[in-house]
Structure 1
């Protein structure tokens, strides 16, 4: 390694982990063409790049050390330096893990730690991923790596850690397959793997998450009974976790499942979700449970009320949910905007306002592809068909055309 340049070490390390440059782009937020230029020696890189790649590849500071030992690169142009600095800060914030001294590690510990570290990166990438199919490929490879590693592990703490990580990542894969890419058959397999891994390691929280997500599949097929059965299993796991927020999420999912078939049950489920969310927790909620909160409950409530024809109440809940979203929640923002737009088509329609909001949602959807939001777009377009002759709808269609051109 001493005779190699920083770029050569980066390239060799990436290839050893079977990562393409495009996958490295997903992991680091650096453009793949720039990464290739650094590897070929056409650009010098930076210590920030070295740190980000170090974390992404789990190299315990090796790349940073190599970069610092290399001859000092020329000072980049101010604009390029600022762009690279901002990109590096963003990527490093996405992976806030400290370096670990390699000499203190032994056996399979580094591989297990790397799997856990990568799971954290994937979780961060999910909410704003503009290329969900690419991220799913990366996540699928991670699951394969976990399976290979488990063959070499005996029962014990390391194996339990791999099982927990595999369950978390398999649930994430299921979400990508179902919500982002509309591939329910793939999603079913991933959620099944997540539940299997969670039960094998005795993690009720992960098991509840897997079954709760699995309920969305039969619900989408109109099979509310099967969905409720899955939620019943999820609730049993959740009650053993000592985390009311998980039970609240399951009740919120039940409200969505029941809306088309049992309005009264929907409202009871929302009341239960609200009550549970206010309850004290025995333990801290794990970082991977990042898809539910009071704001997300407002989103569930708003969607249910919208489908029940209570447009004004729905709009209030959805607007509250939208305000609570972080800047990185691009996909959910598009969904909430479409639902708010639809709320303006109630008993006293405001088609201009509805189309303006739906246009904003479509612009957001163009940034981050998301099958769930895309289905909301098709639903909204069907709802405004009666106003096709109006200027608001004509302008909306023109805006859609410009976004997809």
Structure 2
């Protein structure tokens, strides 16, 4: 008598825990065949493709090892290199519930989502974040009480809301692991909405987390998943250029400057010749000017100081008035250029402008740029211009804010 083996009980348990009651439900969320999921739930399951690994770890909140897979190269790679802690976040309902809410709930919920999107650029992130999380929690409740097109509309707005929360946590609050958990929720909501373009945007944001930590393989693997989702959607030139810019920034943080500069060149070419589909309304974080900021930073890190200076000054001139957060970053990068070039007075001038902008629009990325340049100025800290800057930088407001981080 043949004894039936239990198969990959780890994946099955994680699937059920995440709300996918059948193999076909998980297959639908991953946009693959049910047979593939069936193969994964057998003994000795095959190693999934990069985009599938990224989607699995994001949707189920566990590493590939925890899901019962063995890396053939004996190295644990993947978008979820560590288990994603999700404590404290509302669960995203995986399937539509009974339609107890009217269709108008989607319109009302979406309106608040749009308002939060616009407020991000002017309101202090620490003040906005609790409201965004509360709105996401409400959206999860609505998702369980809607069906059909209303359910999908709520899910789309919910994915954007979770994405905004994750952006605040990563870029503004310096909480990458919290952002990882939040972006997992965003991806689950995008799956409910069957929105491949939103899924691509969420995965690309997720790639920042390992990328900024210098974990190049994890970042590139997650970017491969983001590109796979974008290919399934109607992505325009700006979206494809942004994906290249994200990957370029990850390569920059990992010290691979030739690859970063090559990606930025490709992004510039894509903006000129790529598909002319309109970008989605929620993609308000990228533009040709923003790409110039990416480029200037990459040139700076590559040691191309004259080119970086020219690129950043042009970007600063072209930057819209309302882009205060990006302005603080560009001032910080310009200060870094001048510090590296031995122009200490000019570096301090840019630092003071960055601080003035940060008083108006607080931004952790901009603050970190200022901090990094000040550290580079330690050998020159007895110069009058550095001392004058310190009088502002180490005033009560800035010092208390820094210690509170």
TM-score (norm 1): 0.71
Once residues 301 and 293 of structure 2 are traced to their aligned partners in structure 1, the CA distance between those partners, rounded to angstroms, is 12
Match of 1:86 in 2: none
Match of 2:153 in 1: 161
1:113 equivalent to 2:107? Answer yes
Using the TM superposition, give the Cα deviation of residue 107 of structure 1 relative to its aligned residue in structure 2, in angstroms. Answer: 5.2
1:40-189 equivalent positions in 2, closer than 5 A: 108-130=102-124, 132-154=125-147, 156-189=148-181
Gaps of 5+ in 2: 1-99, 400-405
Gaps of 5+ in 1: 1-105
Deviations 1:181-231 (A, max 9, x none): 111121111211112221232212101110110011111221011011111
Once residues 215 and 274 of structure 2 are traced to their aligned partners in structure 1, the CA distance between those partners, rounded to angstroms, is 33
Using the TM superposition, give the Cα deviation of residue 282 of structure 1 relative to its aligned residue in structure 2, in angstroms. Answer: 5.0
1:6-405 equivalent positions in 2, closer than 5 A: 108-130=102-124, 132-154=125-147, 156-240=148-232, 241-259=234-252, 260-347=254-341, 349-402=342-395, 404=398
Once residues 274 and 214 of structure 2 are traced to their aligned partners in structure 1, the CA distance between those partners, rounded to angstroms, is 35
Once residues 210 and 235 of structure 2 are traced to their aligned partners in structure 1, the CA distance between those partners, rounded to angstroms, is 28
Deviations 1:207-262 (A, max 9, x none): 11101100111112210110111111111122232312111101111111112332
- On the 8 A contact 1:123/1:172 being kept in 2, the answer is yes
Once residues 279 and 236 of structure 1 are traced to their aligned partners in structure 2, the CA distance between those partners, rounded to angstroms, is 21
- On the 8 A contact 2:237/2:277 being kept in 1, the answer is no
Deviations 1:25-49 (A, max 9, x none): xxxxxxxxxxxxxxxxxxxxxxxxx
Question: Which structure: greater helix fraction?
Answer: 1
Match of 2:58 in 1: none
Aligned to 1:395, the other structure's residue is in SS state helix
Once residues 286 and 326 of structure 2 are traced to their aligned partners in structure 1, the CA distance between those partners, rounded to angstroms, is 11
With a CA cutoff of 8 Å and minimum separation of 6, indicate the structure with the bigger relative contact order: 2
Once residues 197 and 324 of structure 1 are traced to their aligned partners in structure 2, the CA distance between those partners, rounded to angstroms, is 36
Once residues 384 and 107 of structure 1 are traced to their aligned partners in structure 2, the CA distance between those partners, rounded to angstroms, is 59
- On the 8 A contact 1:311/1:343 being kept in 2, the answer is yes
Once residues 186 and 110 of structure 1 are traced to their aligned partners in structure 2, the CA distance between those partners, rounded to angstroms, is 32
Using the TM superposition, give the Cα deviation of residue 295 of structure 1 relative to its aligned residue in structure 2, in angstroms. Answer: 0.4
Once residues 158 and 340 of structure 1 are traced to their aligned partners in structure 2, the CA distance between those partners, rounded to angstroms, is 47
Using the TM superposition, give the Cα deviation of residue 279 of structure 1 relative to its aligned residue in structure 2, in angstroms. Answer: 2.9
- On the 8 A contact 1:247/1:273 being kept in 2, the answer is yes
Superposition CA RMSD, Å: 1.6
Using the TM superposition, give the Cα deviation of residue 356 of structure 1 relative to its aligned residue in structure 2, in angstroms. Answer: 0.9
